[in-house]
Chain A
């Protein structure tokens, strides 16, 4: 919202530098997003008189004007058609900044330049280029009484400073110059010079009657109207035009400008209808406030045709809609040059109704942005009186009806009680009673000091103030947060431990980094194509009903697809890149009950997932990683069983070169080579591996405590056995057998397995390493040999394994 400093000066005496005012407003009231100085803005732009005009020698569409800029003449090339000799025009001199290009609205700097063979020493501008209006059909022709050579600022009295404010949704009371003046008065602790107009409007019927009918008073709490005639439509005075422009509005004519002026000054949106265009019943115009029926049409003032959905709040006469209430007027009752008699509307409409209506019509106006902030219905009369006052002053019109005011449930000020001690408690420090009272009074509240507490009468314009805490906020912000000292200690609280899951996640993060994996933070949403490319289906994924793109339509049930996607992308830079992610996945909770506040719609377990690729990778590389991680967490008795398709992501993995990881009955997850189809679908480099482990399952498998175990300090002997075994024989069978056969064997590890050339079909070569050690002595060569012989014979007998 744009606020004119000149306008504010009608009500308050601002005597601090503008940047201080800006800071104060931003910190204690509403954010100032921009400060614009018109004198600066129109620097180097002057009033010029076109003294000669001729065709450009090289371009048919251009003219060359000789312009007197006051004691000096310059030559300007121009393509506009509306210029004539003798006219006064705005001229940007060399180096001037044109505020708004007609297309992009960006600034640009005028330079003296050669224009196809003719020198152009400046530029004439349209209203739009000067940011003074919308017109760009030609050069802005100035009044002939403007002084040639004067700056445009002087000539048009553009000497204002404009504050652009970003108001909050509860600051309806601030949406006017009076509102902001009151805020500033409170912030600066100064008095405010504004009283509502005390104009007397006729209370008895005069020559004209006006009927107002509100169908649903919940949607329109008040409608105030009056008829005026003898109006002469003309441009409004320059001071009014300038104020409208400063506030970002385009001047139209005196009647419309007055209604807009009231909106900007007091915050009450108003509308004027052409009396003669309103349908009459028994010669009486009737204003009806009602909801639209489906299919009704109206052409709005901005020349758009709207086919209305059902339930939009309308202003209608007995025949037709004549305005969309509080949003935009209808063209059929528009004020035009011939208008002499008007009906003025000053009403209060339901905030939510207007907000939804405005959305349905895709029309936002200055009126909507006020009404949707829940305006005070008591403003309608204040606004109407002020409007009539101004119209009497500038249009030669007169009031020809009584004021009709339909206001079934008048809004009365509320009174709140606030103990002084309460404010201090919220602030965390003593704030004196006198300060509390003064701060509220500055903002227009009436305060009755009752000793330990105050009774505060809230002006009806402050519809945001409903509870004592709202008053506390007002007191504190006027007091100023800057005045709250930085003091410790903080609220004491028993420090709590980091929860075990977070602690585990940090361990897992460190483990993965240590193993060379880079973490990814992928999007929680995935698309159907990626799922399909990963052999998965949409199935039970939680669906976003208003997705931005097909790639973000489902909440992911596994991290693997997005991780595969990111790994593939980064493989283009580094084919050996290794990635991991630890995040939530989302599974629908079919037991969800909306009424149970503690129940949740989805299960959101966290998973550790990794994907990486490389030329010579196999299942055993994936397994090595998992073994390293689990060993680091002291998890023992881990089993690796066939990927039988029972895991949600089973199909992402190779059917045989992958395994389900278990500890006891608990499934930790799945690991292995990715399915060749997945690798192909995703254009990945080399062979690719994946792992997916459930964080909670890992946590549950971790021993609660680990205790010291005595170990033998006698010499350990290691022995390698190269065996020829039947291909189907599992490593685990052999190790179990060996451990069972000889108590001396402490550990069996794998050195190598091989099948192919040199090994008969159906067999494989397996090299294992035995570590033998006793608790109480160094083993003798005889003992070792004896154990070895026994082991070999058992192996041959039980699993037909032979020494190679």
Chain B
């Protein structure tokens, strides 16, 4: 065959082979075969210099045309392959609703989630997180808080007892006030979250184990006004609602004077009154008050110089409010069907 014929047959066989090409890899092989260093085309082009003079120009010209043609054919086939592939991908229908391959994360108990939130919010407000013992003696839990034996206020705190009854699992985190005042010098601004225990019948509103967070602020300038601002800000953040109003009501606790009950606008009805808030529009959040001077004196704190306030909300209350959990027992039950919801 003369070179011109060879070039022509190259094109013919390329066309045939391209038809057989099914994918990118095969195309690549064909491309190498027809345009690579060892291809027939290159061989022909290299041999031009040995041709007779009259054929040189003709073959050279035809060689370039053929090379372009080969490149075009391969490009065309590449394009059509891409199109086929796109069509094929578009045609594929996987079941997007079929579950993903299993990867599982656990969750924190809703109480812990709220606990962490409480810690964060009060730290933002400048409180130091402090820790108290769960098991305390009568003095820390009651006596130093002006609740001697037979004090009526003890009636509302049914107590579990240990040993001869002088040791007990704390009934409130207020017992930690003493540890803070024994160990720290004013100014004091601490938050003590932790478990408390009361020997109460477990019902939809009460559990015999619960969390409180005791706040204690002792400072020259700690005031009722400051307490109102602090608690309003903290509760608004915890309930994730800047609109709610925080209301102070007169109350009595032996260890605070003045003593205050703190209410918030019912977050369920916005204060209109619903079954959640017993139609009052308000929900009780915690007891609070100004630390009684006798309590401060118990710890040698100069009451002429220092004064302060304390408060002790329950964490479960916030959990129940946040998630609308109707029965306190559900929170302590630890049923996975509850836990995985939050």
Interface residues of A (CB under 8 A from B): 26-31, 168-171, 352, 355-356, 372-373, 425-429, 467, 469-470, 472-473, 476-477, 481-482, 484-488, 490-496, 498-499, 502, 506, 509, 512-525, 542-548, 552, 555, 566, 569-570, 573-574, 577-578, 580, 584, 586, 594, 597-598, 600-602, 604
Residue in chain A with minimal CB distance to B165: A545
Question: B167 to A490, Cβ gap below 8 A?
Answer: no
Minimum CB–CB distance for A371 against chain B, Å: 11
Provide the bound-state CA to CA distance between A467 and B297, in Å: 13
**Quick check: A518 and B160 within 8 Å, CB to CB?**
no
The answer to whether A513 and B252 touch across the interface, beta carbons within 8 angstroms, is no
Chain B residues with Cβ under 8 A from A542's Cβ? 135, 162
Residue in contact with A555 in the complex, picked from B169, B187, B337, CB distance below 8 Å: B169
Instruction: Report if B101 contacts A (CB, 8 A).
Output: no
Choose one: B105, B135, B248, B332; the contact of A484 (CB below 8 Å). Answer: B248
Q: Pick the residue among B125, B178, B223 that contacts A425 (CB under 8 A).
A: B223
B274 within 8 A of A: no
**Closest chain B CB from A331 CB (angstroms):** 29
- Return chain B residues, CB-CB under 8 Å to A426: 223-224, 258, 290, 307
Within 8 A of A (CB), among B106-130: 106-109, 111-112, 116, 119, 123, 125-129
With an 8 A cutoff between CB atoms, is B225 at the interface? Answer: yes
Q: Could you say which residues of chain A place their CB within 8 Å of the CB of B42?
A: none
Task: Provide the bound-state CA to CA distance between A535 and B73, in Å.
Answer: 81
Closest chain A residue to B257 by CB distance? Answer: A469
Contact, CB under 8 Å: B258 / A492 = no
Q: Does B137 contact A (CB under 8 A)?
A: yes
Chain B residues, CB < 8 A from A566? 334
- B314: shortest Cβ distance to chain A, in Å? 14
With A513-B106, A515-B106, A597-B178 as given contacts, are A27 and B250 in contact (CB-CB < 8 Å)? yes
- In the complex the two chains form, is A518's CB within 8 Å of B249's CB? no
Interface string of B218-233 (1 = CB under 8 A from A): 0101111110111011
Q: Contact at A570–B223, with CB atoms within 8 Å? A: no
Known: A429-B225, A488-B229, A544-B161. A169 touches B152 (CB 8 A): yes
Are B228 and A578 closer than 8 Å at their CB atoms? no
Which residues of B have CB within 8 Å of A524?
A: 134, 169, 195, 197, 209
- Residues from chain B with a CB closer than 8 A to the CB of A487 are 225, 229
For residue B205, give the distance in angstroms from its CB to the closest CB of chain A: 15
B104 at the interface (CB under 8 A from A): yes
A490 touches B230 (CB 8 A): yes
Q: How far is the CA of A545 from the CA of B165 in the complex (A)?
A: 8
Q: B339 at the A/B interface (Cβ < 8 Å)? A: yes
B104 and A499 contact, CB distance less than 8 A: no
Q: How far is the CB of B166 from chain A (nearest CB, A)?
A: 7
In contact, B229 and A519 (Cβ under 8 angstroms): no
Are B195's CB and A545's CB within 8 A? no
| Chain A residues with CB below 8 A from B106, complex form | 512-519, 578, 580
| Most chain A CB inside 10 Å of its own CB: which residue of B187, B250, B251, B293 | B250
Q: How far is the CA of A578 from the CA of B105 in the complex (A)?
A: 10
CB distance from B145 to the nearest CB of A (A): 14
Verify B259–A473 contact, CB threshold 8 A. Answer: yes
Q: How far is the CB of A19 from chain B (nearest CB, A)?
A: 11
Q: Is the CB of B136 within 8 A of A600?
A: yes
Q: Would A481 and B160 count as touching, CB distance under 8 A?
A: no
- The total of interchain contacts (Cβ-Cβ below 8 angstroms) comes to 225
Q: A169–B134 contact, CB under 8 A?
A: no
B109–A520 CB distance below 8 A: yes
Q: Whose C-beta in chain B lies nearest to the C-beta of A496? A: B128
- Residues on B with beta carbons closer than 8 Å to the beta carbon of A601: 133, 135-137, 162, 167
Contact B105 A491 (CB under 8 A): no
Once A473-B259, A481-B247, A484-B228 are accepted as A-B contacts, the answer to whether A586 and B134 lie under 8 Å apart by CB is yes
Beta-carbon contact of A484 and B225 below 8 Å: yes
User: Judging by beta carbons under 8 Å apart, are A570 and B336 in contact?
Assistant: yes
A521–chain B nearest beta-carbon distance, Å: 5
Contacts A490-B230, A521-B109, A521-B111 given; does A573 touch B337 at CB 8 Å: yes
A506 to B120, CA, bound (A): 12
Contact of A27 among B178, B230, B249, B339 (CB under 8 A): B249
A519 to B169, CA, bound (A): 23
The answer to whether B225 touches A598 (Cβ under 8 A) is: no
* A-side contacts of B128, CB under 8 Å: 496
Tell me the smallest distance from the CB of A462 to a CB of chain B, in Å.
Answer: 13
Q: Are A428 and B160 closer than 8 Å at their CB atoms?
A: no
Are B340 and A518 within 8 A (Cβ)?
A: yes
10 A-B pairs with C-beta separation under 8 A:
A373-B152, A493-B189, A518-B340, A521-B332, A545-B163, A547-B160, A570-B334, A577-B336, A578-B106, A602-B135
Ranked 5 nearest A-B pairs via Cβ: A428-B223, A428-B225, A481-B248, A168-B252, A473-B258
Q: Of residues 153 to 171 in B, which have CB atoms within 8 Å of A's CB atoms? A: 153, 160-163, 165-167, 169
* In-complex Cβ contact of B152 among A372, A476, A493 (8 A): A372
| Interface secondary structure of A, over-half rule | loop
Chain A positions within 8 Å of B160 at CB level: 544, 546-547
Minimum CB–CB distance for A349 against chain B, Å: 14
Interface set, chain B 247-269, CB cutoff 8 A to A: 247-252, 254, 257-261
- Please give, as numbers and ranges, the residues of chain B lying within 8 Å of A517 by CB-CB distance: 106
Complex: A276 Cα to B163 Cα, angstroms: 52
Q: Tell me whether A472 and B258 are in contact in the complex, defined as CB-CB below 8 angstroms, given that A356-B150, A546-B161, A574-B336 are known contacts.
A: yes
Q: Does B217 contact A (CB under 8 A)?
A: yes
Interchain CB contact (< 8 A) of A598 among B179, B247, B294, B339: B179
Decide if B133 touches A548 in the complex (CB within 8 Å): no
Known: A473-B259, A544-B161, A598-B179. A513 touches B135 (CB 8 A): no
Let me know if A486 and B108 touch, CB within 8 A. Answer: no
Q: Is B139 an interface residue (CB 8 A)?
A: yes
With CB as the reference atom, state the residue of chain A lying closest to B282: A26
Contact of A519 with B107 at beta-carbon distance under 8 Å, contacts A355-B152, A490-B126, A492-B126 already known: yes
Closest CB of chain B to A42's CB: distance in Å?
A: 22
| B residues in contact with A170, CB < 8 Å | 252, 254
User: Given the known A-B contacts A481-B260, A542-B162, A601-B136, are A491 and B108 also in contact in the complex, defined by CB atoms under 8 Å?
Assistant: no
Cβ of B2 under 8 Å from chain A = no
Closest to B148 in A: A352
Contacts of B169 in A (CB 8 A): 524, 544, 555
- B275: chain A residues within 8 A (beta carbon): none
Separation of A170 and B153 alpha carbons in the complex (Å):
9
B257 in contact with A513 (CB, 8 Å): no
Please state if A546 and B123 are interface contacts (CB–CB under 8 Å): no
Partner among A168, A477, A484, A545 whose Cβ is within 8 Å of the Cβ of B162: A545
- Of the candidates B126, B167, B249, B254, the one whose C-beta lies within 8 Å of that of A495 is B126
A586 to B182, CA, bound (A): 23
Q: Does B172 contact A (CB under 8 A)?
A: no
Q: Which of B109, B125, B129, B248 contacts A490 (CB 8 A)?
A: B125
Cβ contact within 8 Å between B230 and A502: no
Instruction: Decide: A584 near B249, CB < 8 A? Known: A484-B228, A490-B226.
Output: no
Contact assessment for B126 and A491 in the assembled complex, using a CB-CB cutoff below 8 Å: yes
Cβ-defined partner of A491 (8 Å) among B119, B221, B332: B221
Interface-central residue, A27, A427, A428, A586, by most chain B CB under 10 Å: A428
Does B292 touch A at the CB level, under 8 Å? yes
19 further interface pairs, Cβ-Cβ under 8 Å (given A27-B249, A521-B331): A169-B252, A169-B254, A428-B225, A473-B290, A476-B258, A477-B250, A481-B249, A482-B247, A491-B222, A493-B127, A493-B189, A493-B219, A498-B129, A513-B107, A515-B106, A548-B208, A552-B208, A570-B334, A597-B178
Chain A residues with CB under 8 Å of B127's CB are 493
Return A688 CB to nearest CB of chain B, in Å.
Answer: 16
Expressed in whole angstroms, the Cα–Cα distance for A493 and B197 within the complex equals 32
**A718 to B105 alpha-carbon distance, docked (Å):** 32
Q: A658 vs B197: C-alpha distance in the bound complex, in angstroms?
A: 35
CB closest chain-A residue, reference B160:
A544
Give the docked Cα–Cα distance between A470 and B135 (Å): 32
Q: Which A residues lie within 8 Å of B116 (CB)?
A: 506
Taking a contact as CB atoms closer than 8 A, the residue among B139, B162, B219, B339 that contacts A518 in the complex is B339
* Cα–Cα, bound, A169→B337 (Å): 42
